[in-house]
């Protein structure tokens, strides 16, 4: 795996698979935990929404070796990596907002992607409507909007010389709903519904490790509108604030709390 620099040259133009996969083990843990609770024994057809570089699709393949798998993502770089990684699955460029399945899926798997979408009160029932009786929707979303690391991104965005360009990013940052909201939206469409919240604690290599973690995901929208020099300045400010907020352990490691919401709904 390529531990590349934290400041990708064009962070907003496309996702960077190498940067994202620097923490593949940590990111895959939630996907494994979600998949472990899917009650299906042998789905014939499964969609992997927001499949990224194919790491979640690979987990589906291991669990369901005979299933037809179709991974969807909006990033060509991620899809290219996924196709190389898992040549026996199918991948295509498509976003969640445009998702209208051509095949009736037994499983819709959405690991760490639906937090980027809006109008969940309509989206979740719509996804359920695509499933046959006994079909399953499995969702995991980071529930991090109230965490200090995310608050610091917004603070730096509104306090810096880039304020005007980044205010639309700050205002557009979606906050996922409470668990009871998803229960109310999904329960009329479900025979079985499970929701739970897990806070993972990731040991990262100091403040730079925290920056690396988010540079491959949540920081991208903030860095995209900036010039190379401004990106360096933004990341330097973010690193300084992280040091103030998260006290390293004696060995230099920062423990990053990372809460996630899980939903498994069976029609």
Q: Tens of pLDDT along 94-133?
A: 999 889 998 899 999 999 999 988 899 999 999 999 999 9
Q: What is the pLDDT of residue 21?
A: 54
In the chain, pLDDT over 70 holds for what percent of residues?
A: 90
Q: Report which of 132, 71, 137 is spatially closest to residue 104, judged by C-alpha positions.
A: 132
Query: What was the pLDDT predicted at 24?
Result: 66
pLDDT tens, position by position, 146-175? 899 999 999 999 999 999 999 998 887 667
Nearest CA-CA partner of 47 in 14, 90, 3: 90
Structure tokens at 73: 């993502």
Residue 9 has pLDDT above 90, yes or no: no
pLDDT of residue 7: 32
8 CA to centre of own chain: 19
The pLDDT score that the predictor gives to residue 12 is 41
CATH class of 17-266: alpha beta
Dihedrals φ, ψ of 121, to 5°?
Answer: -65, -25
**Per-residue pLDDT at 138:** 98
Whole-number pLDDT of residue 204: 94
The average pLDDT across 46-61 equals 95
| Tens digits of residue pLDDT in 198-257 | 999 999 999 999 999 998 788 988 999 999 999 999 999 999 999 999 999 999 999 999
pLDDT at 256: 95
Decide if pLDDT at 11 tops 50: no
Q: Which pLDDT does position 206 carry in this prediction?
A: 94
pLDDT value at residue 171: 83
pLDDT, residue 220, reads 87
| pLDDT given for residue 19 in this prediction | 54
pLDDT at 6: 31
Specify the pLDDT at position 218: 86
Percent of the chain exceeding pLDDT 90 equals 78
Measured in degrees and rounded to the nearest 5, phi and psi for residue 264 equal -125, 115
Considering the chain, what is the average pLDDT of its residues? Answer: 89
Q: What is the 3-state secondary structure (H, E, C) of the chain?
A: CCCCCCCCCCCCCCCCHHHHHHHHHHHHHHHHHHHHCCCCCCCCEEEEECCCCCHHHHHHHHHCCCCEEEEEECCHHHHHHHHHHCCCCEEEECCCCCCCCCCCCCEEEEECCHHHCCCHHHHHHHHHHCCCCCCEEEEEEECCCCCHHHHHHHHHHHHCCCHHHHHHHHHHCCCCCCHHHHHHHHHHHCCEEEEEEEEEEEEECHHHHHHHHHHCCCCHHHHCCCCHHHHHHHHHHHHHHHHHHCCCCCCCCEEEEEEEEEEEEEC
Give the model's pLDDT for residue 131.
98
Domain ranges of the chain: 17-266
**Lowest pLDDT segment from 11-15, 203-207, 258-262:** 11-15
At residue 174, the pLDDT reads 66
State the burial class of residue 92 (Cβ atoms within 10 Å of its Cβ: 0-12, 13-18, 19+).
Answer: exposed
The pLDDT value given to residue 10: 35
Please determine, for residue 140, whether its predicted confidence score (pLDDT) is greater than 60.
yes
Q: Find, among 247, 242, 257, the residue nearest to 203 by Cα.
A: 257
């Amino acid at each position: 795996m390529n531990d590349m620099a934290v400041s990708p040259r064009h962070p907003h133009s496309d996702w960077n698979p190498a940067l994202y996969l620097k923490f593949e083990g940590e990111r895959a843990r939630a996907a494994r935990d979600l998949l472990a609770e899917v009650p299906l024994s042998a789905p014939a057809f499964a969609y992997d929404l927001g499949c990224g570089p194919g790491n979640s699709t690979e987990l589906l393949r291991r669990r369901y070796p005979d299933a037809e798998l179709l991974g969807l993502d909006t990033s060509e770089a991620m899809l290219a990596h996924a196709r190389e990684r898992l040549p026996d699955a199918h991948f295509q460029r498509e976003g969640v907002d445009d998702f209208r399945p051509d095949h009736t899926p037994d499983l819709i798997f959405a690991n760490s992607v639906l937090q980027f979408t809006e109008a969940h009160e309509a989206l979740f029932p719509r996804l359920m409507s695509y499933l046959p009786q006994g079909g399953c929707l499995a969702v995991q979303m980071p529930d991090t909007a109230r965490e200090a690391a995310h608050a610091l991104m917004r603070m730096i965005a509104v306090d810096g010389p880039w304020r005007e360009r980044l205010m639309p990013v700050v205002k557009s940052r979606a906050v996922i709903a409470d668990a009871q909201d998803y229960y109310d939206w999904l329960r009329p469409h479900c025979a079985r519904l499970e929701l739970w919240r897990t806070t993972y604690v990731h040991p990262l290599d100091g403040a730079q490790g925290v920056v690396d973690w988010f540079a491959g995901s949540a920081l991208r929208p903030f860095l995209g509108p900036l010039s190379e020099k401004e990106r360096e300045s933004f990341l330097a400010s973010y690193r300084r604030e992280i040091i103030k907020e998260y006290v390293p352990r004696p060995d230099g490691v920062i423990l990053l709390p990372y809460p996630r919401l899980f939903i498994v709904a069976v029609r």
